[in-house]
Amino acid sequence: EADSPQLTGLVQRQFPGEPPYAFLRYQVVRVWQLPVEQVLAGGIGTLPLAPLCDTGGKDPRWVIGRIRERLSGRRARRLARDIWAATYLLLGVRYSEAFARLIQQEVMAMKESVTYQMILAEGRVEGRVEGRAEGRAEEARHIVRMLGEERFGAPDAVADAALQAITEVDRLEQLVRDVSRAASWQALLGTPAPRRRRAR
C-alpha cells in the first residue's frame, strides 16, 4: 500500500501553463525490499526500520536480537530508549498487535534498555507519567516531536499546544506514520498556519 505510483523519483515546480523551472531528483527506497543485514549494519537511527525489511525468512525475533547487539555499545546506550520506542511503534506497520506484544516482551527482558523496561512494564516515563496508557502516549508524543522537528523544525506555539493536547495512543501512533507524508506541523496536526507579520 505504501508503493504509490506518484513516487517517480522526480519533483518539479512550474507555474500554470509554463514549463518547469525547478527539478529535484530523488531515489525511492522501499524498505520492505532492503536486505535486513544492510539496515542492521547501517546507522543507529535506522535500526527501527530493520523489522520492516526483507528478513530472508529469518524469525523477526532474530532481528530484534541483532538490534540489541547494536545498542549494547557504550555510545549507543544513550539512544536505546528512543530506538526501542520507535521500533515498537513501527512494528505495527507490518505485524499484528499480538506479535508486536511478543516483541515487547523481548525488549522488556533486555538489560540494555532499563528505562524502556520501566515505560512498558509500569507505564512510566522518567518517573513523571503514571499509568500504562499515559506512558505509551507520552513516548509516542516524544517520537512525533523528534521526527517532526527533524523534518519541519521546531513547532510554533499553536502546533505545540495541539500536540500536547493529544492523549489517544492510536492517534499519536498514526501521527508517527504520517510525519513522512506531511509538509508541515500544520498539515500534520490540522492547525492554522502561523500569521506573518507585516513589514512596516
pLDDT by 10-residue block (mean), the chain, 200 residues: 77 90 89 92 90 87 86 79 82 76 61 47 44 73 87 89 89 88 90 63
Angle between helices 80-94 and 60-70 in degrees, nearest 10: 160
129 with 138: CB under 8 angstroms? yes
Give DSSP secondary structure letters for 86-115: HHHHHHHHHS-HHHHHHHHHHHHT-GGGHH
If phi > 0 it is left, if psi is from -120 to 50 it is alpha, else beta; for residue 57 that is left
Spatial contact of 99 and 91, defined as CB atoms under 8 Å apart: yes
pLDDT given for residue 39 in this prediction: 93
pLDDT value of position 1 = 65
Which H or E run contains 162? helix 157-165
Coil, strand or helix: which one is 184? coil
pTM greater than the 0.95 cutoff: no
Record the cell numbers describing residue 116, joined without a space.
524502556
Residue 180: CA count within 13 A, CB half-sphere: 6
pLDDT for res 128: 43
pLDDT of residue 142: 86
